[in-house]
Structure 1
């Protein structure tokens, strides 16, 4: 299986300013990727990300894309696929929200769910159909270990990721045998430039580590990837902790 792997020559990133996505793009560019589409809301941050990828050695094109505007997804993303085959789509957009304040603000809480779940459902279906039409390609979906079992400390974000994770797995089953590979990535807490004030928690990882895991998962044609890998065992155990006891855990 691994001998037949070829890194993608073209990459579409949904969530073009994501540090994980950019680390993944740089890693793939070092292998074979030469064309990168960065889709996101037009902003200086998106232009900065595009320049970073250009310096890494790829041709970069930016796409105005808003996860909260699903009615535009088919037209916007359709234009990308109309330019030529896309070997890999990386669905990397999402917001963490603020559990403490969002619990008191249903509109803010709904925005987290709409971005992380309903926006991803729309974009995922559009990209899945386009990949199926061209007959090949990978759809890599950045989920989270938080979606495995919602915790009191972040159940709004966790539930949105749980929905995303279930959707992506179902989409992978629906596309099985069509030439399209769907892979769900479940990282633990990821240390990024915007999270330097937050203390590390167990199984903290980095964008670069997630990028390495994504590449390895592509090589193996994995359907689910945990980062770090030992989280698979930890979460398997936590899923079976009785609820009264789970409530007492410092999570």
Structure 2
């Protein structure tokens, strides 16, 4: 069960090598979390991450999970929940893709959509059902500010995150009153392996800053978290900029 401050004792990470997810796990272990499941494709990187979290004092398990294999999600995740109640599921998998290349290679664009949206819908629904059945828990979904409005520079990735964001909001409404809860996290540009070599946008952030915002959101029982918080105001304004003007903005 969560503690009096809303922080989880047990955590399931979908996307076990995500830098944001691991920064969040480290932060939560330093507070209250004692059991961590890292779900992802088997790799030395995930085993190394598990070893690091164990060194921080957590009981850490790994489980094979593939976002691109929705037919396996129910079996894999049900086995995790069968081992004990999970206070928080962090849906953190996703790929950025290469916009210029993916426009010319639709198969690659579809892979972005299948991972970021279809895989997330599947895993999100299975996780939500398990949280609802146990009567408590939070599903934290890593969305992106890129989903707020289509941009020429990343509309393939952005559209997948837009779909994910709407799905997560609706799922939160569906779970309202059940004891389970959904929190959507919308970071801006995050300095990480995934964005290495790309030009940072204004109000860029770090995995550690996102983790801090997630912890604060859990304490507050938030439904939406922006990182940094100023993006809430900025995107509210950008949504209403005329399209002809928006096209000329350097974003």
On the 8 A contact 2:6/2:221 being kept in 1, the answer is no
RMSD of aligned Cα (Å): 1.1
State the Cα distance separating 1:4 from its structure 2 match: 3.9
Residue in 1 that maps onto 2:77: 77
State the Cα distance separating 1:6 from its structure 2 match: 3.6
Query: Could you report, residue by residue, the CA deviation over 1:35-85 in whole angstroms, capped at 9, with x for unpaired residues?
Result: 100000011111111112112211110010000000000000000000010
Separation of aligned partners in 2, 1:208 and 1:130: 28
Residue in 2 that maps onto 1:225: 225
State the Cα distance separating 1:193 from its structure 2 match: 4.2
Structure 2, gaps ≥5 residues long: none
Residue in 2 that maps onto 1:201: 201
Separation of aligned partners in 2, 1:228 and 1:239: 17
TM-score, length-normalised on structure 2?
0.97
Residue in 1 that maps onto 2:145: 145
What is the aligned residue count? 249
Residue in 1 that maps onto 2:114: 114
Residue in 2 that maps onto 1:166: 166
Separation of aligned partners in 2, 1:238 and 1:220: 27
Residue in 2 that maps onto 1:192: 192
Residue in 1 that maps onto 2:237: 237
Residue in 1 that maps onto 2:124: 124
Query: Could you report, residue by residue, the CA deviation over 1:13-49 in whole angstroms, capped at 9, with x for unpaired residues?
Result: 0000000000000000000101100000011111111
* 1:52 has 2:52 as partner: yes
Separation of aligned partners in 1, 2:88 and 2:189: 24
- Structure 1 stretches of 4+ with a deviation exceeding 6 A read none
Separation of aligned partners in 2, 1:121 and 1:201: 28
Residue aligned with 1:103, SS: helix
Compared with structure 1, are the counterparts of its residues 95 and 165 closer, same or farther at alpha carbon in structure 2 (3 Å cutoff)?
A: same
Separation of aligned partners in 1, 2:6 and 2:246: 43
Residue in 1 that maps onto 2:95: 95
Separation of aligned partners in 2, 1:177 and 1:63: 30
